[in-house]
Structure 1
Amino acid sequence: MFAIPGSSPVTITPAAERQIARLMSGKNAYGLRIGLKKGGCAGMEYTMELAETPDANEEVIEQGEARVMIAPMAQMFLFGTEIDYQTDLLESGFKFRNPNVTDSCGCGESVRFEPIEGSRTADQPG
């Protein structure tokens, strides 16, 4: 929907690709749906869920055995994002390197975006 022809709206690192493929095969899912919801101290939180089918108007990105679906209302906020999966001594999880984020909370779980022209606020994507 917001993609540049011939270019993926998000990129997936090899580590994220392996983890998404593992999650998909473990639950026999079509792919990993990524979206945004209101919440957290900065205003918005990323959402992720395994899904059996894509919803109408979702952007579907396939890379190797991994498949990511971006919810329609999140597409403009996620354009240009790199999805990574990192593991260290204390935690492991998906990391979003999103050039559209203008602020985030200290723990990194919540983000804020600049208001889009003509919208109410960037904290209200829908």
Structure 2
Amino acid sequence: MSEIHDNKGSEENNDTSNEDLVILNAISRGTYDIDPIDFTILDAVSKGMDAIDKIVRLTELDEAEVELAINRLGTHRLICATAKKRTLLERRGLLFSLTETGTRLLKEKKQFLEKKAAATDLHSSYYAGNDQVT
């Protein structure tokens, strides 16, 4: 888990880097393809699931899969980790949150998927003979 960037890191974590801009441009064009597991974990973190055990419970994914995905997302600076005090019930000392880039990626990808679903519904309705398509 040492690959994940801290909230308290350098100024680079606060600024949008060139890599972040490339990712965001690809998302806006619909050419950036995020792994479904990574998308699921980004969505879970955005809903307040800030620890691995919470993400595992919500997503029903294997813990090792979640840890690998979190490392990937951290490497791409889509999430960041903050150290917390360990308790008896929680063995992990990290809390996860979305970075600005992660938040924008999730928002853009959701909008892209909604548009794609709407177009598919419209297409299906047309070919099903529904003349009332609006």
TM-score by length of 2: 0.26
Structure 1 or 2, whichever has the larger Rg, is 2
Q: Which has the higher strand share?
A: 1
Q: Which has the higher helix share?
A: 2
